[in-house]
Structure 1
Amino acid sequence: MVGRGDLTNAEWGRLEPLLPPGGMRGGRWSEHRKVINGVLFRVRTGVPWRDLPERFGPWETVYKRHRRWSADGTWELLLTRVQAAENAAGRIDWDVSVDSTTTRAHQHSAGARVAAPPAVAPQKGPQRGANPGDPALKSLSVRLAEVVRQECLGRSRGGFTTKIHLSADGRCRPLSLILTPGQQGDSPQFESVLKKISVPCIGPGRPRTRPDSVSADKAYSSRNNRAYLRRRKIPHTIPEPKDQRANRRRRGSAGGRPTGFDKQRYKKRNVVERAINRLKNFRAVATRYDKRAYVYLGTVTLAALIIWLRS
């Protein structure tokens, strides 16, 4: 009996041939379908791992499988294989759109451990509280900031945030995903998001990495981004902000030619907004509960994989 939100028989039939065989150290995996449904239940509902229903088996097994497949890239490999099958059937619309969304990180996601500071010889004389210039405190604060950055946690007035940068095809399905701290801008990640698009070919041939066209909002309008798209000969539709347009006109011939803008093509940019809405229907994506960035990326990738399976 298939539970609510579990993989259907048709979805499992598409996913089962793509799963890795065997297990750890020559042993056997626990039943793939039951464990994946357990991970999917947690991603869909956002419940703590220990509160998984008993029908999925021991929660440790489900959690460790998700963590392991997030670390070794198995979730990402499954996503690319499903994309390859869709591309071979001609069901990918290569009019790609790029955007980002910020997710609030739960307080439990900020608990990654930090190495203990090195031992410092005690100072002579009376000690009255912590000294702000203490090397141990400084080194600890530096390590804390580094861990926060590595785990893609950005500070804001409301707490920690993480930003998901993504590209989506014309059918509202994520093609590539990147995580950064929440306060980082969109434009610097534009090139990285497009470079991560890689849909393998079934049979001989290189993976497809070049969209037919790219659309993005004016936050991505920059000379570097437009030059990158021109080098790759990718048609693009990115509106030019008023200040950039005024600056170009003020410089005269040195400001370059006006940027092209296709209003009809730009109307399709909402597909990436709809893809974000689909991702955030999964509660563990809309709110980050995972401490480690690679585990959260695995959570988002699994949500994207389910979107592709159910599209």
Structure 2
Amino acid sequence: MQRPPAFLLSALALSGAMACGLAQAAEPVIGLITKTETNPFFVKMKEGAAAEAKKLGAKLVAAAGKADGDNAGQVTALENLVAAGAKTILIAPSDAKAIVPAIRKAQARGVMVIALDSPTEPMDVADALFATDNYKAGELIGQYAKAATAGKTPVIAMLDLYPGHPVGAQRHNGFLKGFGLPTHDAKSNELARPAEVVCMADSFGNRAKGQTAMENCLQKNPDINILYTLNEPAAAGAYNALKAAGKERNVLIVSVDGGCAGIADVGRGVIAATSQQYPLRMAAMGVAAGVEYARTGKKASGYTDTGVTLIAATPQAGVDSKDVKTGADLCWGTK
């Protein structure tokens, strides 16, 4: 077989190199910034983003704050991702207000910024929001707690996130609405406190701090019989405090998350019911929107509800819920 002339081989090689370069240039860079690297919720979010990026031919670059509330770390991550050429940045903001100037700087460089899980404040600072309806998540567990404790005088403790965070406020106030108590609407970042709530404490969504908060609440009022927790790690810590005090059978615990450990706790009676959310779905939708923007210039906008489902071992009349098996099939984190 006759070899092609050398000049033709060179032309073919150059053509191949150009095609490869164009393919690489067409690979959009999507940034993901979570609150932490270790929380199972954000681990699953990163997994969902990575899988969708691979599927759609995008490059995912992930970063995170050192802990929930680390705004400085998230600002640095935003700046680094813009410098790295990210066309879209997905962020679960730790501080809804403090992150705003950094987001606006990124947008001025042509970057689309999508909030995941938590809104910015104001919410419309981000180009779009993919998140759980946190007020609804709170309502669902409030309705469940009301039905499950019918006939009892409610003595309620509430383990919240930390002051001023919109997700914490939405879940807190949603719970009160679901329970049928006076509260604020979904847009308020203030925490309502009707007379039935005898203790409110900040858990920072943390197991150890949840335990300490519950210990303090029991000192204020040992007759607590209903416990709202911002998330399942806080619920697990609170349960440890209740067990140490010999009161674990006297208090109905409800929560939000739907992680695998939390669903297991529902199955064994630690948590009565939890509102399950879907971080993988949030991340996948965010990546898909980022790829669309990179390739067509079309920006995502507004709020997209990524779904929430009440999971309970013991159903209550008039309250829509799914069983533990359903929750386990859809949970995230270590199984």
Q: TM-score range by the shorter chain?
A: under 0.3
Q: Which has the higher helix share?
A: 1
Which structure has more RCO (C-alpha within 8 Å, separation ≥ 6)?
Answer: 1
**Larger relative strand fraction:** 2
TM-score scaled to structure 1, two decimals?
0.24
